[in-house]
Chains A and B, each alone.
Chain A
Amino acid sequence: MRDLRYLRGVTTLAYENERCIGCGNCILVCPHSVFARDGERKVRLADPDGCMECGACA
Chain B
Amino acid sequence: MTSCCSEKSHDCEPSACNCLDGPAMPISDFPMAGSKTSVCCGVSSAVAHAPHEKPGYRLLDFVVNFMETPAGSVPQVRTEVTRADRRATIGCRLGIGRDRYRIAPGIYATGKPVADSPVLVTANYKLSFDVLRSHLAGIHAWILVVETNGINVWCAAGKGSFSADEVAKQVVAVGLDKLVTHRRLILPQLAATGVAARQVKKQCGFEVVWGPVHARDIIAFLDGGLQASDAMRRVTFNLAERMKLIPVELTHLGKTTLIVLPALLLLSGISPGLFSIHAALTRGMLAFLAYLLAIVAGTVLAPALLPWLPGRAFSIKGVAIGMAASALLAIRTTGQLTKTEMLALALFIMALSSYLAMNFTGSTPFTSPTGVEKEMRRAIPAQAAGGLIAAVLWVSAGFL
CB-CB nearest in chain B for A25: B197
Number of interface residues of B (CB under 8 A): 30
A5 to chain B, nearest CB (A): 6
Number of interface residues of A (CB under 8 A): 25
A42 to chain B, nearest CB (A): 19
A9 to chain B, nearest CB (A): 9
Structural contact, A52 and B375, CB atoms closer than 8 A: no
A24 to chain B, nearest CB (A): 11
B358-381 to A contact mask, C-beta < 8 Å, 1/0: 000000111111110011000000
Residue of A10, A30, A31, A53 with highest tally of chain B CB at under 10 A = A31
B210 contacts partner chain A, Cβ-Cβ < 8 Å: yes
Total cross-chain contacts (CB, 8 A): 78
B278 to chain A, nearest CB (A): 47
CB-CB nearest in chain A for B213: A31
* B367: chain A residues within 8 A (beta carbon): 6, 52
Structural contact, A52 and B365, CB atoms closer than 8 A: yes
Q: Which of A6, A7, A10, A31 contacts B190 (CB 8 A)?
A: A31
B186-202 to A contact mask, C-beta < 8 Å, 1/0: 00011011100100000
State the CA gap A56–B213 with chains docked (Å). 12
Structural contact, B307 and A29, CB atoms closer than 8 A: no
A29 to chain B, nearest CB (A): 4
B199 to chain A, nearest CB (A): 13
A8 contacts partner chain B, Cβ-Cβ < 8 Å: yes
Question: Known: A6-B312, A25-B197. Is A31-B368 also a contact (CB below 8 A)?
Answer: no
State the CA gap A12–B312 with chains docked (Å). 18
B398 to chain A, nearest CB (A): 40
B210-244 to A contact mask, C-beta < 8 Å, 1/0: 10010000000000000000100111110000000
B306 contacts partner chain A, Cβ-Cβ < 8 Å: yes
State the CA gap A53–B366 with chains docked (Å). 9
Structural contact, B230 and A10, CB atoms closer than 8 A: no
State the CA gap A7–B370 with chains docked (Å). 9
* B59: chain A residues within 8 A (beta carbon): none
Interface residues of A in 33-47 (CB under 8 A from B): 33
Structural contact, A4 and B190, CB atoms closer than 8 A: no
Q: Which of A1, A31, A53 contacts B370 (CB 8 A)?
A: A53
CB-CB nearest in chain A for B311: A7
Structural contact, B193 and A56, CB atoms closer than 8 A: yes
Q: Which of A4, A7, A29 contacts B189 (CB 8 A)?
A: A29
* A50: chain B residues within 8 A (beta carbon): 366
* B368: chain A residues within 8 A (beta carbon): 6-7, 10-12, 51-53
Question: Known: A29-B192, A33-B233, A33-B234. Is A7-B366 also a contact (CB below 8 A)?
Answer: no
Q: Which of A10, A11, A55, A57 contacts B158 (CB 8 A)?
A: A55
Structural contact, A1 and B197, CB atoms closer than 8 A: no
State the CA gap A25–B369 with chains docked (Å). 23
Structural contact, B233 and A28, CB atoms closer than 8 A: yes
B331-374 to A contact mask, C-beta < 8 Å, 1/0: 00000000000000000000000000000000011111111001
State the CA gap A11–B194 with chains docked (Å). 19
Structural contact, B371 and A6, CB atoms closer than 8 A: yes
A14 contacts partner chain B, Cβ-Cβ < 8 Å: no
* A33: chain B residues within 8 A (beta carbon): 230, 233-234
Structural contact, B375 and A4, CB atoms closer than 8 A: no
* B313: chain A residues within 8 A (beta carbon): 7
> Can you spell out 20 A-B residue pairs with CB atoms less than 8 angstroms apart?
A4-B366, A6-B312, A7-B312, A10-B371, A11-B368, A11-B371, A12-B368, A12-B370, A28-B189, A29-B189, A31-B365, A33-B233, A33-B234, A51-B368, A52-B368, A53-B370, A54-B154, A54-B193, A55-B193, A56-B193
| Interface positions of A (Cβ within 8 A of B) | 1, 3-8, 10-12, 25, 28-33, 50-57
Q: List the 7 closest pairs (A to B, CB-CB), nearest first.
A: A29-B192, A56-B192, A7-B371, A53-B368, A31-B235, A3-B307, A10-B371
